[in-house]
Structure 1
Amino acid sequence: MRFFNTEGPVRPDDHYCLPPLSRWDLDEILMLISQKKYFLLHAPRQTGKTTCLLALMERLNREGRYQAVYANLETAQAAREDVALAMADIVQTVAAEASRQSGDPRLEPIAREVLADNTPTRALRAFLAHCSERLARPLALFLDEVDALVGDTLISLLRQLRAGYTQRPEHFPQTVVLCGVRDLRDYRIHSSADKAVITGGSAFNIKAKSLRLGDFSADEVVRLLAEHTRETAQVFTPEAVAHVWTLTRGQPWLVNALAYEACFERPAGRDRARPIDRDMIEQAKEALIARRVTHLDQLADKLREPRVRAVIEPMLAGTSLGEVPIDDIEYLLDLGLLRQDPAGGLVVANPMYREVLPRMLAFTPQASLPHIRPTWLTSDGGLDPDRLLDAFLAFWRQHGQPLLGSAPYHEIAPHLVLMAFLHRVVNGGGTLEREYAIGSGRMDLCLSYGAVTLGMELKVWRPGEADPLPQGLAQLDSYLAGLGLDSGWLVIFDRRPDQPQIAERTESLPTMSPGGRRVQVIRG
């Protein structure tokens, strides 16, 4: 039985899949190869790059015009800037793959001879010359995980490829394709010792083009899920399919992970007579986030990088980006963490990532929470908003100040602590949704628990600014109207210096919004 793939390249015999080459502009790629071009393919992790490269290799070798060779250079990453060690690994990796894929047993011994007779800065060039001369057809070389290399190692690789470029195709590969997460413009080659930039894309100025593998379209999501239905007769309801698309915006790993969780991990989903419905997809999402699966954990790890924080922190805080380098913005786009909204501006790439980012950042504050008795519950297990307000005020007065230091992003530390508290509330059977955007000036939260839905808006009173109360009331009005609610909370965190301690300044007062909605204004 086939299944949805979440680890490594797709194997059509084992995994549900779309035809890999249908996701590229294949005519353009074949034209670049026929024109002897060197080019890049890039896309975020776990979007199908390797699967597409392997399918392209198989097609080219089957057609017989070229000898295509695929090699993954990831193992050379461990050598860092030890060029001799890294180049030995790269040459031996390429030789082993070329030998296996072409059937020429002499290539590996030739690689050993080349490494013995050449300096590390010439060895790859020399081997590729030997390889191109021995093979009966022009060599198309696909190098994967190139951007895993750093510093002098990456420089040496790129410059050796450039040095042999004029000898193609008789004495050097007809085509070289470099594949990785990042575009060549972000091959910012650093010394690992001091992080100083050594050089950039000029080390490979023979690049003809950079091609990007996109996410699934809505139609491709439908087609992939239909593969499961075709083999098992288990259907996805239209609402479930729509929810997969809404949560993922077609990010391939997320689509496969949600579907696998719903169909193969959840006990209800393993009953093939039962349709996969929207609630099962929502439960799958929560399970993936709670387990901190590898893909999402890698995403969380990126949040610690200064260049990522420089963009994500103001986005969560609702402030403007300020003077963020273009390279840093493009880096986040290449990672697939953000996308450019057609209406203008940067947004988180999909709603699932949008939920994961603050949840991951709130993990440490949540782990730091003291034991909190759920005094907000009624006798029948429902949520009482008035009791919840009292519980939060008591919590904030007692624990808010020390917990701020546990938050990894200073600008939104109060937001993260509040969300940590609310996660303690919804862990009993509710949900917490978040909305935020660059320049919005706020973060919106929607807490749902049983029959109760509570809309909140979080604002920050920063030094040198006016009281955000009037703007917050107007913004909360609009948010509550969208939720269909007639009441909510406006939480204003005062970050001005020389204010009394949180325990002293925290207060809550009822008021009315401009639209006549009841608002509880919480200042802390």
Structure 2
Amino acid sequence: MVLCGVREQRVHRVISRLLASEHSDDTLPTDDVEYVADLGLITTRPQLRIANRIYPEVIPRELTWTRQITIAHEQAWYLTPERRLDMPKLLAAFQQFFRENADAWIERFQYKEAGPQLLLQAFLQRIVNGGGRISREYGLGRRRTDLLIEWPIDEAQGLLGPLQRVVLELKILHKSLEATLHEGLAQTAQYADHCGADEAHLIVFDRRPGIPWDDKIWQRTEQVGSRTVGVWGM
């Protein structure tokens, strides 16, 4: 029942800042922060963050459920013969999906500030649900959202058996592309090493007005130490 409150305006002001992982020149109203903390959605110590390990997954599901169930993509399309997730194929499909739907769908989100991140998570939930697991981390001011996909390689053992681990770092382009990549690649590699991930991908959303889609959509790989990171522009 607590999650029904995520659509309240005072809750929105706090949670949207966390979901988007954004700094702002505006100070969050103390009353709003205390109210959302009293609901149990956030904690303020040692820093402002979503309260527990469950809500970072449940809140995006609550906000994107109606979008997720209308996405016409099937899990089987993105599985290799070895039953691993084909992440390059999946992310390339999302690039096209984002190009076709982002402007209309994000406008319908109440949480427009975190619209690109939420739309990707809705797409991933559509594919990963019923088999794997998505873990999410948000942090105010880090300018990124961390996602960890865990996908069972052995269907019989499920999540208790060997897992394919994929890290996704989501960033909104604020600085120059070079500065965003310099910062984002280091963060992605660090998080992937921390999680023991098999794959790592950095996704950069370019929401600047007037930029043609042909300039926003691109893909390449970068080497960070011994780790190869896929980089996707959207």
Q: Same fold (TM over 0.5)?
A: yes
5 Å matches for 1:473-492? Answer: 473-485=185-197, 487-492=199-204
Q: What is the CA–CA distance in structure 2 between the aligned matches of 1:459 and 1:331, rounded to whole Å?
A: 28
**What SS does structure 2 have at the residue aligned with 1:510?**
strand
2:73 to 366, 372, 378: 372
In structure 2, the residue matched to 1:151 is: none
| In 2: Cα distance, 1:356 partner to 1:393 partner | 24
Aligned mates of 2:101, 2:44 — CA distance in 1: 39
TM (normalized to structure 2)? 0.85
Distance 2:87 2:37 in 1: 40
TM-score, normalization by structure 1: 0.40
Check conservation: 1:446, 1:454, Cα contact below 8 A: yes
Q: Does residue 358 in structure 1 map to residue 60 in structure 2?
A: yes
In 1, Cα distance between equivalents of 2:198 and 2:73: 29
Counterpart of 2:77 in 1: which secondary structure?
coil
Change over 3 Å in CA distance of 1:316–1:516 after alignment to 2: same
Structure 1 counterpart of 2:22, from 316, 319, 325: 319
Partner of 1:9: none
Q: Indicate yes or no: 2:226 matched with 1:516.
A: yes
Aligned match for 2:210, one of 490, 498, 504: 498
Which among 149, 165, 168 is matched to residue 456 of structure 1? Answer: 168
Q: Which has the higher contact order (CA 8 A, sep 6+)?
A: 2
SS of residue in 2 equivalent to 1:303: helix
Partners in 1 of 2:222 and 2:54 — Cα distance? 34
**Separation of aligned partners in 2, 1:364 and 1:372:** 15
Q: How far, CA to CA, are the matches of 1:401 and 1:368 in structure 2?
A: 16
- Structure 1 residues 352 and 441 mapped into 2: Cα distance closer, same or farther (>3 Å)? same
Q: Report deviation, 1:520.
A: 0.8
Distance 2:11 2:65 in 1: 18
RMSD over aligned Cα atoms: 2.0
Q: Which amino acid aligns with 1:488?
A: A
CA contact 1:364–1:407 (8 Å) conserved in 2: no
Write the deviation string for residues 52-99 of structure 1: whole angstroms up to 9, x where unpaired: xxxxxxxxxxxxxxxxxxxxxxxxxxxxxxxxxxxxxxxxxxxxxxxx
Correspondence for 2:140 among 438, 443, 446:
438
Aligned equivalent of 2:107, options 398, 405, 418 = 405
Cα distance between partner residues in 1 of 2:91 and 2:116: 16
Question: 1:303 Cα shift?
Answer: 1.3
Given that 2:73 and 2:127 are in contact with CA atoms closer than 8 Å, whether structure 1 keeps it comes out as: no
Distance in 1, matches of 2:91 and 2:56, equals 26
Aligned to 1:29: none
Query: What letter is aligned with 2:217?
Result: T
CA distance in 1, matches of 2:134, 2:223: 24
The amino acid that maps onto 1:340 is T
Shift, 1:355, TM fit: 1.8
1:348 is aligned to 2:50: yes
Aligned equivalents of 1:361 and 1:355: distance in 2?
Answer: 11
The one-letter amino acid of 2:73's match is I
Partner of 2:120: 418
CA contact (8 A) 2:132 2:149 kept: yes
Contact 2:189 2:229 in 1 (8 A): no
Aligned length: 220
* Local SS of the residue matching 1:405: helix
Structure 2: which 5+ residue stretches go unaligned?
154-163
Offset, 1:350: 1.1
SS of the residue corresponding to residue 54 of structure 2 reads helix
Contact in 2 for aligned 1:407/1:413 (Cα 8 Å): yes
Higher gyration radius (CA): 1
For 1:92-491, what aligned pairs fall within 5 Å after superposition? 295=1, 298-299=2-3, 301-320=4-23, 322-341=26-45, 344-369=46-71, 371-373=72-74, 374-379=76-81, 381-451=83-153, 452-462=164-174, 465-467=175-177, 468-485=180-197, 487-491=199-203
SS at match of 2:88: helix
